[in-house]
Structure 1
Amino acid sequence: MFAVGVALAVAVLLGRLLSNRLGVPDAAVYVLIGAAAGLLPGLGRPELSPELVLLLFLPPLLYYAAFFSDPRETVDHLVPVIGQAFGLVLATAAAAAATLLALFPDVGWAAAIAFGAAIAPPDPVAATTVLQKAGAPSRLVTVLEGEGLVNDGVALSLFAMAVASVGTQQSAGSATVGALVEVGGGIGAGLLVGFAVTWLRGRIRDGPSHVVLSLVTPFIAFVPAYLLHASGVLATVTAAVWQSTRGRGLVAPTARVQTETFWRVLNTLLVALLFVLLGIQVPAMVEVVNDYSVATLALASLALVTVTVLVRMGWALFIQPVLARLPSREEAVVSMPRAERLVLGWCGPRGPVSLAVIMSIPVLTPSGAPFPRRDLLLFLTMVIVLATLVGQVMPLSALLRRLRLSPGERERTEGLRARRATVDAALRELDGMTAEERRDTAGTEAMRQVFELRRDRLRGLLDNESDGRADTEAPEDDQALRLRLLRAERDALHRLYGRGEISGRTNLEISQELDLDETRLRGGH
C-alpha cells in the first residue's frame, strides 16, 4: 500500500511537470503515467469501488466548479446556457445511447442511456483555461462555465434514473415522479445546507475552521441527498452557488484567501489523482476487453467519439440560432456570431466528472444480475475522454487565431478600469478624511502619493491598451489608514459589479488582490 501511495505521488508530480513542458493537457499525461505505473511489476493495482468514486471524488469536484462560477452572468446568457446544459446533454446522451445499441444491442436501453448520460456533459475547465490564455471573447468563457454549472446536474440525474432502471420495469409515471424527487429534493437539500453553512460561517472567526467547514460542505450536501434518492449533484451545486453568492462576504479576507487557495490545490490534486488512478486501471481494462477484437473496439471508439463531437458541433451551429429567436427577456438572449458558435461547438472535451460517473456504475444491477458490459463502458469512456481532451483542447489556440476571435477594447481594459475606480475611491476617502481632520498627516500624504502614482500608471496602461497593475505597496507603518482605504476600494468594486459594469471574473480577481493586501497588512492573521 505504501508503494502505491508513493507511486501515485510521483505520478502526480511528474504529470504536472510534463504537461507544463510539453503543452499537453494534464489529464492525458496523468492517464499515460498511471498506465505505465500499472505495468510495473510488484505494484498492486488499487481497486476503485463505485461508491468510493461517487462519494469521495464527485462532491468536491462539483463544489469547486460551482463555487467559482458566476450565476449572474449565467442568467445574462440564459438562452445559450440552458440550450447547452439541457437540450444538448439530452441530445448527446440519446445519440450516444443509440450508437452504442447499434453496435452492442444486448446492452439494453437503460444501460445505454446511463452510458450516454455519463459522457454527455463536457468539462469546461480545460477549454476555458486555453480560451482565457489565448484572449478569447469573455462571452465564450461565460457560456461554457454557465453550461458546466448546470449540465452535470442534468446528466447525473438522467444517469441515476437510467442505472436504477437497468434490469427492472418502470412505468412512465414512476419515472416522472422519480425525476421530480431527484430534482426537487436535490435543490431543496442544497438550499438547506447552504443556508446552515452560511449561518455558521458568519459565526466562525479563525481561518482553519473556515477551511474545514468548506471541505465538509459538499459531502453534507451530497451524501444525505444521495441516500434519500434525491440528486446529490444538484444539492452540491446549489449549496456551492449559495455559498458563492451569500456566504463569501461573511468571511474575513484572511480566511477567504486561505479557503480559496486550499480549494484550488485540492481540486488540482483530486483531478490528478483521479486520472492517475484511471490510468493504473488501464492494463486491467485492456485485459478485460480482450474478448473483443481490435477492429470492434476501434470501430466503437471512433463511432462514439465522432457522434459526441458532431452532435455538439451541430447543436452550436444550427440549434443555438433557433433558440436565440425564442421569446425571452432581451438581456437574456445572446445571438452569438458564427465564429463564436464554431468555437463553442468545438469546446467539448470530456473530463473527470465523466470518469467519476462511469466508474460509479454498480457491478450488479438492482435485480442482482451483472451490469451489462460494464468493463466495456468504462473502456469506451476512457477513450472518449482522452480523445476529446487531446484532440479538441490542443488545436484550440490555433482555431482562435484562424477565426481571428479576440475581445473588444472594453473587455480588454475591464480589469484596468475597475482597478482605477478602486484607486479613485481610495483617494476620495483620503480627501474626506483630510477634510474631517482639517489637516494632512504624514501618513495621509504618503498614502496619497502612493495612490496617485498607481492611478497615473493605470491611466498610462489604459492609454496603451495593455494590462497590468502597479506594484507599489502602501507603507506598513499606518495599518489602520490602509485598512480604511481597502474598505473604500472594496466598496467601489462591489458597486461596479452590482451595476454590471465588470464581470464576475474581474470582480473575483481584484477582490482576491485586495484580500491578499489585507492579509499582508494583518501579518497573515
Structure 2
Amino acid sequence: MHDVATEVTLVVVVGILLIGAVATIANRIGVAAPLLLVLLGAVIALVPGSPEIVVPPEVFLTIILPPLLYTAALRVPAVDFRRNLRVIGYLSVVLVALSALAVALVLQSIWPVIGFAAALALGAVVAPPDAVAATALGKRLGLPPRVVTILEGEGLLNDATALVLLTTAVAAIERPGSSEVEGAALVGDFALAVVVALAVGLVVGYATVLIRQLAGDRAIDTAISIATPFVSFLAAESLRGSGIVAVVVTGLVIGNRSQIRIRATRRAQESATWSTFSVIVENGVFLTMGMQLPAVITAVDEGERHLAGVVAVGLLLCAVLLAVRLAALPPLLAWLRHHAGRVQRGHARLAERLDSVDTSTKRGARLRYAHIVRGHDITALRDQRLGWRDTLAIGWAGMRGVVTVAAVQTLPADTPMRAELVLAAFVVAIVTLLVQGGTLSFLVRALGVGKNASDRRRAELESLVGEAIDAGIEAMRREAEVNGIDEMIVEVASERMLARRDWAAHVAEVDPDDPSTDVAQISRLRHVAIEAERVWLDRVRRTGRFDSSTVAVAQRIIDREEIGLQADEDEH
C-alpha cells in the first residue's frame, strides 16, 4: 500500500513539473502546449517500465470539468454574456446538436456496425469546441471584445448540450436490445436539466457571495472558493439537473457580484489559485491523453480495421465539423441583423411609454432604467456589429480540447468499436488544435479583425477612470463634511488617488493605533473613496454604458489601490 501511494505521489509530482516546463517552452517557441504534452505523453508511455495511467471516467466529469468551467465563468462579464445570449445559445445548443447529428450520420454510414447510439455518442463528444485556447489567443491578438465573449460563452455552455446528448446516447447503448435514441425524451431531459441547473446555480452563487462576504478569515474564504464549483455541480446532479450549467451560472454570479461584495485581496488570491489549478489540470488531461495514445493505437491495430483507416475517419470528421460550423454562421448573421431592427423599434416604443409615465414612481424608475440599459445595449452592439470577418474568425476558432479528450473516455466498455471511436476523437482534438489553432493567428492578422479596437478602449478607459476618481473624491468630501475632517486632509487623500506617492517614511513615524493621526484619517477616507468607486463601477457595469473590457481594466486599477492600502495597513 505504501509503495502504491509513493508511486502515485511521484507520478503526480513529476507530471506537474513536466506540465510547468512544457508550458514555459511552448510559450517561448509559439507552439500550443497541449500538442507538446500529447507528444511527450506518448514518448513517456513507450519507455519500458513507465506507469500505466488509467483515469476513471467519473474523475473527468466530477473533478476536472467543474472547476475548469467555473474558472472560465468567473472571468466572463455578465452584461456581455446577456447581450450575446442569443448568439451563445445558437452556437452552444443548435450548432452542437447539428454537429453531433452530422457526425453521427457520417460515422454510421462508414461503420454501420456501431449503431446510431454509439455514432451519436461520438458526435456529442467531438461537437463542443473548447474555446479556452481560442479566447486566450484571441485576447492576445486583439480580437474584438464581443468575439471573445461569444467564444467564451460558447465554450462554457456547449459542454452541457454535449454531455446531455452523450448521456442519452450512452443510456441507449447500455439498454439491452436497443440502440435507438428517443428524440422526445432527449428534449425533455435537456429542458429539465437546464431549468434545475439555472435555479441551483443562482442559489449557490448568491449564497456563496453572501457567506464569503461575512467570512472573516482568509483561509476560510479560500476553502469556500475551492468547494463552490463542486457543491454547485453535485447539488444540480442530485436534482437531475445539468451540473455543468449550474457551475457556469454559479461562476457568472460570483464573478460579477464579488467585485463589489468581496475584498480585492481575496479576489486576487482566488484568481491566482484557480488560474494555477486550471493550467495544471487542463494540461494534465493532454499529458494523460498522450500516455494513453500508444495503448489505443495498439488496440485499434489488433482489431479488424487498419490504423490508417481510423485516422482517415478522424480527419473526415474534422472536415465535417468545420463545414457544419462555417455553414451555420451566415444564417446567424442574418438573424442578428433582423433582430437588431426589432430591438431598436422596441426601444423607441419604450421611449414613448416613458413620456406618459411618472419616473419618480417605482414603476417609472424601473422603466427608465430599462430604457437606459437597452439604449446602452443597442449602442454597444452597433459599435461591435459582427461582420463576415468576425464570423469567419469565430468559425475557424472551433478547436476541440479537454472536453472531447475527457468525455470520449466515458464511453462504456461494451461500446461497439470503442478503441476506434476513442482514437477518432483523439485525432479530432489533435488535428483541430494543430491546424485551426496553429493558423488562427495568421487568419486574424490577414482579416484585420479588431485592428482599431485599442484606440477606442484607451479613450474609454481614460474617461471611465476619470469618472471613477471623481466619484471617489466626491464621496471623501461628503465624509469629511459629516465627520469634521480638515479640508487639507481631503486634498492630500485626493492627490494620492490621482497619483500614488511614496510616503512610507511618514507612515513609519506615526502611531498606527491612533485614529486621530492624519495617516489614519487619510486611510479611512481612501477606504470610503474605494468603496464609492466600486459601487459606482458596479452601477456602470450593470447598465452596460462602457465596454466590459474597459470596466475590467478599471476594476483592476481600483483593486490594486485597495490591495496597496491593505498592504500599508498590514505593514504598520
Given the two structures, how large is their TM-score scaled by the length of structure 2? 0.80
1:306 and 2:356 correspond:
no
Q: Tell me which residue corresponds to 1:419.
A: 465
Within a 5 Å distance, the mapping from 1:37-436 to structure 2 comes to: 37-168=44-175, 169=178, 171-290=182-301, 291=303, 292-322=305-335, 324-326=337-339, 328-330=342-344, 331=377, 336-363=386-413, 370-405=414-449, 406-408=451-453, 409-429=455-475, 432=478
Shift of 1:23: 0.7
425-434 or 163-172, larger mean C-alpha shift: 425-434
Shift of 1:431: 5.1
Over the aligned positions, Cα root-mean-square deviation in angstroms equals 2.7
Counterparts in 2 of 1:187 and 1:484: CA distance versus 1, 3 Å: closer
3-state secondary structure, aligned to 1:394: helix
3-state secondary structure, aligned to 2:214: coil
Alpha-carbon contact 1:185-1:231 (below 8 Å) kept: yes
Alpha-carbon contact 2:315-2:427 (below 8 Å) kept: no
Counterparts in 2 of 1:22 and 1:250: CA distance versus 1, 3 Å: same
Partner Cα distance (1:109, 1:324) in 2: 37
2:550 counterpart letter in structure 1: T
Counterparts in 2 of 1:162 and 1:11: CA distance versus 1, 3 Å: same
Number of aligned residue pairs: 501
Shift of 1:176: 4.2
Partner Cα distance (2:109, 2:493) in 1: 72
Counterparts in 2 of 1:165 and 1:83: CA distance versus 1, 3 Å: same
Q: Tell me which residue corresponds to 1:464.
A: none
Alpha-carbon contact 2:39-2:290 (below 8 Å) kept: yes
2:403 counterpart letter in structure 1: V
Alpha-carbon contact 2:58-2:410 (below 8 Å) kept: yes
Larger radius of gyration: 2
Alpha-carbon contact 1:80-1:320 (below 8 Å) kept: no
Alpha-carbon contact 2:457-2:550 (below 8 Å) kept: no
3-state secondary structure, aligned to 2:430: helix
Alpha-carbon contact 1:80-1:143 (below 8 Å) kept: yes
320-329 or 97-106, larger mean C-alpha shift: 320-329
Partner Cα distance (1:381, 1:474) in 2: 60
Shift of 1:200: 2.4
In structure 1, the gaps of 5 or more residues are 364-369, 455-470
Counterparts in 2 of 1:324 and 1:156: CA distance versus 1, 3 Å: farther
Q: Tell me which residue corresponds to 1:460.
A: none
Alpha-carbon contact 2:114-2:417 (below 8 Å) kept: yes
Partner Cα distance (2:336, 2:550) in 1: 29
Counterparts in 2 of 1:203 and 1:74: CA distance versus 1, 3 Å: same
Counterparts in 2 of 1:189 and 1:321: CA distance versus 1, 3 Å: same
Alpha-carbon contact 2:141-2:441 (below 8 Å) kept: yes
1:507 and 2:514 correspond:
no
Counterparts in 2 of 1:6 and 1:490: CA distance versus 1, 3 Å: closer
3-state secondary structure, aligned to 1:413: helix
Counterparts in 2 of 1:438 and 1:274: CA distance versus 1, 3 Å: closer
Q: Tell me which residue corresponds to 1:457.
A: none
3-state secondary structure, aligned to 2:129: coil
Larger proportion of helix: 2
1:488 and 2:532 correspond:
yes
3-state secondary structure, aligned to 1:122: coil
Partner Cα distance (2:234, 2:436) in 1: 34
Shift of 1:44: 0.6
90-99 or 353-362, larger mean C-alpha shift: 353-362
Shift of 1:281: 0.9
Partner Cα distance (1:180, 1:80) in 2: 19
Shift of 1:79: 3.1
Given the two structures, how large is their TM-score scaled by the length of structure 1? 0.87
Partner Cα distance (1:194, 1:269) in 2: 25
Partner Cα distance (1:343, 1:236) in 2: 28
Counterparts in 2 of 1:328 and 1:262: CA distance versus 1, 3 Å: farther
Partner Cα distance (2:163, 2:416) in 1: 19
In structure 2, the gaps of 5 or more residues are 1-6, 345-376, 508-518
Partner Cα distance (2:401, 2:452) in 1: 27
1:500 counterpart letter in structure 2: G
* Percent of pairs with identical residues: 28
Partner Cα distance (2:555, 2:269) in 1: 14
1:361 counterpart letter in structure 2: L
Shift of 1:397: 2.2
Partner Cα distance (1:92, 1:473) in 2: 58
Partner Cα distance (1:472, 1:25) in 2: 42
Alpha-carbon contact 1:81-1:146 (below 8 Å) kept: yes
Partner Cα distance (2:460, 2:418) in 1: 49
